[in-house]
Amino acid sequence: MFRRISLIALSLSAAVIPLSSSLVSAETKIDPCATYNPHACFAANVTSSEIAAAISAAHALKTLPSTTPTLSYLSSVKTGTRSYFMPAGRCAQDALQTDGSPPSIADCTLVNPRSAHTVVLTGDSRAVMWTTDLVTLARQWQWRLVVLAKPGCVAMSGSITHLNNPGGSAWVACDNFHTAVMSDLRQLNPDLVIIASNPVQSLAPGQSGTIYSNSLSYFTSMKSSAPRATFIQLNNMPNVQWPGSLNPVGCLSMHKTAINLCDKAPVSQGVANASIASADAAASVSSINIEPWVCNSTCPPVIAGMIPYDRDGMHLNNVYSGWLVGVLWSAIAAVPHSGIPTPT
């Protein structure tokens, strides 16, 4: 078994990221990343070569092993669909897709509020998906972390439909959220902005533009609002076509003795991903491709004793994303002017 799997399993003891003082204290005894200890934390995490080896080994699995999280945990609508959400509190109103006024910076500051350096994580549910990792990383970097994320509200200009689903009218709450993001960035003046978002946009009636033009417009606006920041986008979350259009939980439930039937290639979002990559390049936003952290030629449903996905299959759960802390840290540190060191 690869390093830190048993440690990260603690993060799914509830459906939210554990940040209470009592729980952090309990974690500290076994998790080198629970408190500030960058050398120990970095050394405890898996490397890209170890992840690649684990994915390759996963293709040989036929029978569903014991996993973390368990299949029953992910099968539950209550826990399986909230397995990557941020801590409770007013900031969660965006994460839970409610449509009140956007929460304040103070509401969404999760780590080190008095730090001289700030990292902002922003986007839709794909950004919320990385909150577990960014809490850990900001703790080790001793940076302030502010999460500005609203599921379904993609990081593109132009009014979209509710939750970015085709049909319907303009989602005003998403427009308001985008406006709040620009205002918050101007106020925060961050060192680093990390974007994670769906590459596809469902525009509301009367709206125009392409994925490329609307992405470029949004990125340009963000950069204008945070002129000294380095911008990074986490791209290419696998979009897997499970047999019978099932989610990964449904597929594994039906094929417990033949889980290789759930080992599928991602559905191509090549055009959308290429448009995002082109907009990144035009806006001088660095891009990190996360697909090799989940798939090689295909995407196995169990990797190193973990089911990587949440219940809908469109996101990574806290356990698996937490396993990727080391490679995410290395990838961010490799971006020029990120300001992020790796321990030596």
Paired tokens of 179: 């406006």
Domain 5-333, CATH class in plain words: alpha beta
Residue 298 has pLDDT above 50, yes or no: yes
Residue 20 has pLDDT above 50, yes or no: no
> Hey, what amino acid is at 150?
K
Question: For residue 3, what pLDDT is reported?
Answer: 58
pLDDT in tens, 173-224: 999 999 999 999 999 999 999 999 999 999 999 999 999 999 999 999 999 9
Average pLDDT for 299-306? 97
Q: Is the dihedral of CA 344, 131, 324, 269 positive or negative?
A: negative
Bridging pattern class, strands 144-149 and 109-111: antiparallel
Tell me which of 80-84, 135-139, 335-339 is least confident.
80-84
Question: For residue 94, what pLDDT is reported?
Answer: 79
Question: For residue 98, what pLDDT is reported?
Answer: 80
Residue 288 has pLDDT above 50, yes or no: yes
Question: For residue 81, what pLDDT is reported?
Answer: 80
Q: Can you say how many angstroms the Cα of residue 143 is from the centroid of all Cα atoms in its chain?
A: 18
Residue 107 has pLDDT above 90, yes or no: yes
Residue 19 has pLDDT above 60, yes or no: no
pLDDT band at 66 (very low <50, low <70, confident <90, very high): very high
Domain residue ranges in the chain: 5-333
Question: For residue 57, what pLDDT is reported?
Answer: 98
Percent of the chain with pLDDT over 90: 75
Question: For residue 2, what pLDDT is reported?
Answer: 59
Q: Most confidently modeled of 6-10, 120-124, 309-313?
A: 120-124
Question: For residue 4, what pLDDT is reported?
Answer: 55
Q: For the chain, what is the mean pLDDT? A: 89
Residue 282 has pLDDT above 70, yes or no: yes
> Hey, what amino acid is at 298?
T
pLDDT band at 31 (very low <50, low <70, confident <90, very high): confident
- Residue from 114, 113, 179 nearest 148 by CA: 179
Question: For residue 220, what pLDDT is reported?
Answer: 98
Question: For residue 128, what pLDDT is reported?
Answer: 94
The stretches of the chain forming alpha helices (DSSP H) are 5-8, 21-28, 38-44, 48-58, 71-75, 77-80, 92-95, 125-129, 131-141, 172-188, 211-225, 248-254, 270-282, 318-323, 325-333
Give the Cα-Cα-Cα angle 288, 196, 263 (nearest 5 degrees): 70
Residue 86 has pLDDT above 80, yes or no: no
> Hey, what amino acid is at 332?
I
Higher pLDDT, 77 or 287: 287
pLDDT in tens, 231-243: 999 999 998 888 8
Residue 22 has pLDDT above 60, yes or no: no
Residue 38 has pLDDT above 80, yes or no: yes
Question: For residue 7, what pLDDT is reported?
Answer: 42
User: In angstroms, what is the C-alpha Rg of the chain?
Assistant: 19
- Answer whether 275's CB lies under 8 Å from 210's CB: yes
- Answer whether 312's CB lies under 8 Å from 74's CB: no
pLDDT band at 29 (very low <50, low <70, confident <90, very high): low
- Residue 206: CB atoms within 10 A of its CB come to 9
- Residue from 48, 41, 335 nearest 194 by CA: 335
- Answer whether 274's CB lies under 8 Å from 211's CB: no
Residue 344 has pLDDT above 90, yes or no: no
Percent of the chain with pLDDT over 70: 91
